[in-house]
Amino acid sequence: MSGTTRTDQPRGPAPDVATTRARLASSRGREFWRSLEELSGDPAFQDLLKDEFPAGASEWEDGLDRRRFLQLAAASLAFAGLSACTRQPLESIVPYTKQPEEIVPGRPRFFATAATLGGYAAGLLVETHEGRPTKIEGNPDHPASLGATDLFAQALVLGLYDPDRSQLLLELGEIRPWNAFVQRMQAALRPQQALGGAGIRILTGTVTSPTLGDQLRALLARFPKAVWHQYEPAGRDNARLGARLAFGEWVETRYDFSRADVILALDADFAVEMPGSVRYARDFADHRRVRHGEARMSRLYAVESTPTATGTLADHRLAVRAAQVPGIALACAAELGLVPAGSSPSLPADSKRFVTAACADLKRNAGRGLVVAGETAPPAAHALAHALNHRLGNAGVTVLHTDPVEVEPVDQTASIRRLVEDMRAGRVDLLAIVGGNPVFDAPADLGFTDALLKVPLRVHLGLEEDETSEYCHWHIPQAHPLETWSDARAHDGTVTVMQPLIEPLYGGRSAHELLSAFLDDPPRHGREVLRDRWRKRAPSADFEAFWRKALHDGIVPGTALPPRNVALRAGAIEEAWEQTNNSIMLAATSGIAAGGGLGEARDRILEVIFRPDPTIHDGRFANNGWLQETPKPLSKMTWDNAAYLAPAAAERLGIASGDIVEIEVEGRTVEAPAWVQPGHPDGALTVHFGYGRTKCGRVGTGTGFNAYVLRTARGMWSHPAASIRSTGKRQALACTQEHFSMEGRDLVRVGTLAEYRSDPGFARKKEEPPPKDATLYPGFNYEGHAWGVAIDLSSCTGCNACVVACVAENNIPVVGKDQVRRGREMQWLRIDRYYEGGPDDPDAHHQPVMCMQCEQAPCEVVCPVGATSHSSEGLNDMVYNRCVGTRYCSNNCPYKVRRFNFLQYSDEKTPVLKLGRNPDVTVRSRGVMEKCTYCVQRINSARITAEKEDRPIKDGEITTACQQACPTQAIVFGDVNDPSSRVSRLKAEPANYGLLEHLNTRPRTTYLAKIVNTNPDLEKGKG
Amino acid sequence: MSQIFHRSTNTLSRVSIYAAVFVLAGLTWVLMALDRSPYTTKQGIVLRQPVPFSHEHHVAGLGLDCRYCHTSVETSSFAGMPPTATCMNCHKLIWADSDMLEPVRASLRDDRPIVWTRVHDLPDFAYFDHSIHVAKGIGCVSCHGRVDQMPLMRQAAPLQMEWCLECHRHPEAHVRPRSEVFNLNWAAADQASLGPRLVKEYGIRSVRDLTSCSTCHR
């Protein structure tokens, strides 16, 4: 009954990387590992593995004295008998007074709309129950979605019902009506009329909305001296400037991965973190589906400065510091004869080999290759990538150039810098911040907040009362994207007219309505603004028909931007070459300039790399519990960010994961927990920005550290010289990494394309399943359907969209950091991540694991109350109302996919959260076991529909939530009794295998081994 | 040393040991009976409603079809409760100034819904779907009883799991022609031969399917 658990105690010293290396060198064949602790054979870790849940997971969390214990014991005894005897309370039925024509109570309806991230839209279909949005799906007709979404779109529903969203229009903390705000603005604009609006500044994020663009232009037409600034913390400045450097104009670039046989990614996480990445991931995966008889796939070379999803997919990955990326691009240019050989700086041997092999491959596949530079790579690298694509004939085939998608492309860093200068000089009378949180996320060296305070009238439109609203006179609650009339363009230019799913819950206003307050008297409703704009631009005479169709389909036809030919600007390559050399020189000298000197002091100078957080992005999702609790794709950390560094660097500096280090960049410091990340480039440090919010809701405030403090306008994505110092303090991090370990069996199986070609069944050889009759239990005949899932490990990017989709679909509760640390996370679907190879540069593999729905399920036979039992279609049904919480089933589950409600995790008290729950799934209470059901509510609903129509269920008619959200279609669900179903065909593939098949559980979920297409010229040296 | 207990205590203790068995059995029986009693199930109990609506009058007296009000019974899990506008289709002309109907008129006037008390209330972890039962030839009367004989609505069946399972185990005893689903008066001439034939014709799933936990619980 002790209050402390082992997880509270500090970890031992850093795993001994040297011993580990020796151990790996002595082993033969492929060896997989999950974490450095496991790899080093740390006895504490071995101890941790023995138990089903981590130590303390099932313990009472607070101290408990004898008296209190007896009280509780007596009470539980009394309640044990009585709990079944409750009478149901009376319930009401509240019908409509006048029922809307299309609504059938009890049946969900779907509406097309879109969500934007960084301005770029992805099409959505939103499921609503009697007017309440409950679940987000992708819009299959939308080019950036194709029916899938990313994890942020999945979490929109929780954001909509967030009880902490701002609900009141405030002037200096006093509640005001909208009209008072409108009058105040019009009074403020009157004197500006004479000045031409010289004192007006509007700050927005990236704008692709044609209507908002028109409104802003109308405002600038009326006030010609007013200025519109744009700033997006995770912005695309480098891509914009790189295109301008290459072509002399603003050019948008989009990629067609479905036609690319060889891909070189230069610090580009195109599979997860780019506008259009959901589509890119799908195209990429489609081109790599190795099936029996058609064993061909593309090859991906990834150069990256921090481990990313794209890096884990790569056939060859090169980890370098961010400062080295342009050098690699230049070396590629030299290899292809764009710049004279020898003009690039000398590269280390491994980089040289990599570049030579990749370029040879690109040359061999000229016109069928693709070079992509990431948002974080400097403009010169983008320009060189453009030049490479032109030289190779990829431009116009796999790399398409169009006019800009944005309304007004600008250098956003320069834009906010100019705004700060104007504010500091007192040239700004009225600043309207339309969305965004610049006080929190503007570059630290600009001094945005101090300058802001010089503005006499400051207005902030935002979803929450945040750091910025605190410094503004007026705060206008913003309508959530699901409550808003608007429009936005996708990465290819396709316009979606966004329609609201629900009236604003808290009276929020949209950006259109805010601007209308400046433009129109009286201000107009967002819907009218939008309709007026489109009425003028409707392609057909019948506006209403156009409007209804655009809303229904979720796309405006014919708005995708046509690709056009652009020519490289003369001197572009030379300029990029020079910029690259300059940056390399700067990086080389700044380490010394920062006081590095020699020896040990020099070791403490590292390059620092800034990235948006993989789950809460730039901080805007900090108050979203679903996203906070989603494990980061590689570290599996929840609720925190950390300073990631390479094992070798950690070894040199004597730092272990969880040690708090102080990072200093140009005199600004921040304290951050360190995390030793296998595969991280040595000499660098990655920090994710978005955490460390000081003013958001109850969920996000106080989580993590604020990395924006270190981020300057000159080093938006990396800074060459940060010094790092151990503080001697430690911080407990909530990682799901080591929980539920599977102890190094052949769980994830990987082979090269060559291996597959010579022996397609290589994955099955590792473990022969026992004969079907080797069991004491009576057999079970599945006469009708038999549901199963096949997961293609080659396609999984580890993007977590499925995890959040599962949480949203199945009413899975959020438990909080402390509970995650005790191993009590509740997500039914986890993505296991395995490493292979040495700790410095391992390959990483993702494996989604949910309930296997075993045909011979070990969980079923141990339940004393029959709460988990076999369905006629082979599901391991979980009956919550029978469960008494013995947890025997979880003890006996070899896959550790069951989750137990140790406490009352589902929030049953907050009324607004009830609106967002899926009414087709039971909300579980304390003391109940739960697990993946294969979305049985969807199976039942499809079956009822089919049976009413007197037809069989069609293949593909039922999709599980994880399958539907998956951008790469890695998960396929269906009837394994139907030999022609997609899932049956996948299970018949030679690369198909089950987890722990030797246990004879006959799992219904099986995996297709991961196939990588390695280049024989680049045989990887291990360790 | 004298005896503390009288000899008769021997008998008394034996009797009480025997009695304890009966007392425990009795107590168990009482609890089980209580669990199945209308006190728990609310079977046959008339609940207070804002308007004393008579199914007897509207169904038997006027001959309204069930689906006039319960519009989604064939298409949705929820049978549907009539919006106030449906009541007022007739009651703007008939009984237009009755005191009893004032809550209905007020509802339409103020656009405030009538709050009815749910009579047939399944627990939240049981997912019942009206549309599939209707499609498979289960009559309204099988669960709701002779609604046309109820001046005030009450729950006709206990609605407990054993009661549901009775039909899921023996659908042939309850299935009827689809044409007679809404006929409260219909009775099969020969259920024993009709039942199995309809089970086959309507494709009613096997008992093992119908009694799988996830058929109703999820």
Q: What's A690-741 look like in SS3? A: CCCCCCCCCCCCCCCCCHHHHCCCCCCCEEEEEEEEEEEEECCCEECCCCCC
Any idea which residue has 């205590």 for tokens?
Answer: B9
Residue A151, SS3 per DSSP: helix
**B206 or A54, greater pLDDT:** B206
Contact A151, A966 (CB under 8 A): no
**What is the model's pLDDT at position A14?**
47
Q: Which residues of A touch B113 (CB under 8 A)?
A: 94-97
Whether residue A9 is predicted with pLDDT greater than 50 in this model: the reply is no
Q: Hey, what long-range contacts does A23-28 have (CB within 8 A, 24 or more apart)?
A: A24/A837, A24/A838, A24/A1022, A24/A1023, A25/A1022, A25/A1023
Length of chain A (residues): 1023
Q: Which residues of A touch B39 (CB under 8 A)?
A: 87
Residues of chain A with CATH 3.40.228.10: 252-402
Q: Which residues of A touch B209 (CB under 8 A)?
A: 784, 872-873
Cβ separation A881–B84 shorter than 8 A: no
Contact A648, A732 (CB under 8 A): no
Whether residue A740 is predicted with pLDDT greater than 60 in this model: the reply is no
**A452 or A768, greater pLDDT:** A452
Q: Among candidates B59, B81, B63, B85, which has minimal Cα distance to B72?
A: B81
In this structure, the strands spanning A643-645 and A684-689 are antiparallel
Least confident of A420-424, A517-521, A706-710, A774-778: A774-778
Cβ separation B131–A944 shorter than 8 A: yes
pLDDT for A849-907, tens place per residue?
Answer: 999 999 999 999 999 999 999 999 999 999 999 999 999 999 999 998 999 999 999 99
The helix (run of H) or strand (run of E) holding residue A280 is helix A277-286
- The verdict on A908 touching B (C-beta cutoff 8 Å) is no
Whether residue A220 is predicted with pLDDT greater than 70 in this model: the reply is yes
Size of interface A-B (CB pairs under 8 A): 134
Chain B residue whose CA is closest to A934? B218
- A266 burial (CB, 10 Å; 0-12 / 13-18 / 19+) is buried
Q: How many CB atoms lie within 10 A of CB A601?
A: 11
- A61 burial (CB, 10 Å; 0-12 / 13-18 / 19+) is middle
- The verdict on A82 touching B (C-beta cutoff 8 Å) is no
Cβ separation B115–A922 shorter than 8 A: no
**What is the model's pLDDT at position A22?**
60
Cβ separation B123–A88 shorter than 8 A: yes
- The verdict on A958 touching B (C-beta cutoff 8 Å) is no
Chain B residue whose CA is closest to A947? B132
**What is the model's pLDDT at position A1018?**
84
Cβ separation A880–B217 shorter than 8 A: yes
CA–CA dist A149, A256 (Å, integer): 18
Q: Which residues of A touch B104 (CB under 8 A)?
A: none
Cβ separation A950–B203 shorter than 8 A: yes
Q: Which residues of B touch A94 (CB under 8 A)?
A: 113-116
Q: What fold characterizes domain A6-55+738-774+786-1012?
A: Alpha-Beta Plaits (3.30.70)
CA–CA dist A864, A886 (Å, integer): 8
**What is the model's pLDDT at position A998?**
87
Whether residue A6 is predicted with pLDDT greater than 80 in this model: the reply is no
Q: CB-hemisphere CA count at 13 Å for A800? A: 27
- pLDDT classification of A1023: cutoffs 50, 70, 90: very low
Cβ separation A106–B209 shorter than 8 A: no
- The verdict on A99 touching B (C-beta cutoff 8 Å) is yes
**What is the model's pLDDT at position A877?**
94
Q: Which residues of B touch A85 (CB under 8 A)?
A: 31, 34-35, 40
Which residue in the set A93, A784, A940 is minimally distant from B118, CB to CB? A93
**What is the model's pLDDT at position A87?**
72
Cβ separation B214–A875 shorter than 8 A: yes
- The verdict on A106 touching B (C-beta cutoff 8 Å) is yes
Q: Does the N-terminal peptide bond of residue A522 adopt cis geometry, omega within 30 degrees of 0?
A: yes
Cα torsion A729, A731, A737, A738: sign:
positive
Q: Which residues of B touch A88 (CB under 8 A)?
A: 42, 121, 123
**What is the model's pLDDT at position A50?**
53
**What is the model's pLDDT at position A79?**
56
Q: Among candidates A1009, A589, A437, which has minimal Cα distance to A764?
A: A1009
**What is the model's pLDDT at position A19?**
58
**What is the model's pLDDT at position A765?**
78
Cβ separation A85–B34 shorter than 8 A: yes
Mean pLDDT of A760-786: 82
pLDDT for A592-601, tens place per residue?
Answer: 555 445 555 6
Q: Among candidates A817, A252, A326, A934, which has minimal Cα distance to A573?
A: A326
Contact A995, A1007 (CB under 8 A): yes
Contact A139, A112 (CB under 8 A): yes
The helix (run of H) or strand (run of E) holding residue A279 is helix A277-286
Q: How far is B157 from chain A (nearest CA, A)?
A: 16
Cβ separation B135–A948 shorter than 8 A: yes
- B89 burial (CB, 10 Å; 0-12 / 13-18 / 19+) is exposed
Mean pLDDT of A332-338: 90
Whether residue A738 is predicted with pLDDT greater than 70 in this model: the reply is no
Contact A231, A442 (CB under 8 A): yes
Which residues of chain B fall short of a pLDDT of 70?
1
**% of chain A at pLDDT higher than 70:** 89
**What is the model's pLDDT at position A66?**
67
Q: What fold characterizes domain A170-235+408-484+503-521?
A: Rossmann fold (3.40.50)
**What is the model's pLDDT at position A746?**
78
Q: Tell me the CATH number for domain A594-735.
A: 2.40.40.20
Cα torsion B158, B162, B168, B170: sign:
negative
Cβ separation A106–B72 shorter than 8 A: yes
Q: How far is B17 from chain A (nearest CA, A)?
A: 23
Contact A817, A639 (CB under 8 A): yes
Q: Does domain A252-402 sit in CATH 3.40.228.10?
A: yes
| DSSP string across A7-47 | GGSPP-SPP-HHHHHHHHHH--S--EES-HHHHTT-HHHHH
Q: Which residues of B touch A871 (CB under 8 A)?
A: 212-215
Q: Which residues of A touch B116 (CB under 8 A)?
A: 92-95
Residues of chain A with CATH 2.40.40.20: 594-735
Cβ separation B212–A871 shorter than 8 A: yes
**B213 or A47, greater pLDDT:** B213
In this structure, the strands spanning A132-138 and A170-171 are unpaired
Mean pLDDT of A1001-1006: 93
Cβ separation A95–B78 shorter than 8 A: no
Cβ separation A96–B208 shorter than 8 A: no
Residues of chain A with CATH 3.40.50.740: 170-235+408-484+503-521
- Which pTM value belongs to this model? 0.91
**What is the model's pLDDT at position A4?**
34
Q: Among candidates A255, A251, A272, which has minimal Cα distance to A264?
A: A255
| Gap between the terminal Cα atoms of chain A | 44
pLDDT for A170-194, tens place per residue?
Answer: 999 999 999 999 999 999 999 999 9
Q: Which two structure tokens, joined as six digits, stand for A385?
A: 């990538």
Strand runs labelled E in A29-108: 32-33, 92-93
Residues facing residue A827 across a β-bridge: none
**A408 or A102, greater pLDDT:** A408
CA–CA dist A380, A382 (Å, integer): 5
In the stretch 849-888 of chain A, residues with CB closer than 8 A to chain B read 869, 871-873, 875, 877, 879-881
Whether residue A29 is predicted with pLDDT greater than 60 in this model: the reply is no
Q: How far is B19 from chain A (nearest CA, A)?
A: 22
Average pLDDT of chain A is 88
Mean pLDDT of A438-454: 94
Whether residue A228 is predicted with pLDDT greater than 60 in this model: the reply is yes
Residues facing residue A434 across a β-bridge: A204, A461
- The verdict on A541 touching B (C-beta cutoff 8 Å) is no
Which residue in the set B76, B83, B209 is minimally distant from A99, CB to CB? B83
Contacts of A108 (CB under 8 A, 6+ apart): A127, A128, A129, A134
The helix (run of H) or strand (run of E) holding residue A868 is strand A868-870
Residues of chain A with CATH 3.30.70.20: 6-55+738-774+786-1012
**What is the model's pLDDT at position A8?**
38
Which residue in the set B85, B111, B206 is minimally distant from A872, CB to CB? B206
Q: CB-hemisphere CA count at 13 Å for A646? A: 25
Q: How far is A83 from chain B (nearest CA, A)?
A: 12
**What is the model's pLDDT at position A770?**
81
Q: Which residues of B touch A875 (CB under 8 A)?
A: 212, 214
Q: How far is CA B22 from CA A770, A962, B30, B35, in A?
A: 53, 56, 12, 20
Cβ separation A95–B114 shorter than 8 A: yes
